[in-house]
Chains A and B, each alone.
Chain A
Amino acid sequence: MGVVPLERRGSRIRLHFCDQIVDVTPRVASDLADTLRSLLPGCRYLRADRDITQNDAPTVTVEVQETSHGLLVRDHDGQPLEEPQEEPIGAAFLVIEAMMNAVQRSAGDLLVLHAGGLETERGLIAFAGATHAGKSSLGLHFTAQGRRIFGDDRIFVDIAGRGGEPEAIALGLAQKIREPLPKSFSDNIHAHLAARSGMRYWENHFLAWSADGQAVNGTRAPLRAVLLLERDAEAGPARFTPLSRVEATQALVALASDLAGSREMLAKIVRLADHVPLFRVSYTDSPAGAEAILHWADTP
Chain B
Amino acid sequence: MGFRNNELVEELPHIRRFAISLLKHGDRADDLVQDCIVRAMANRNSFATGTNLRSWLFTILHRLFVDTCRRGSDRWTTTGVPYLIDSARVEPRQGDKILLNEVASAVAELPSTQRYVILLIGMQGYSYGEAAEIVGVPVGTVRSRLSRARNALREMLSLDDQDGVDVPYDREKSDHRGGLRLTA
Q: Do A and B come from one complex?
A: no
A residues with a Cβ closer than 8 A to B are: none
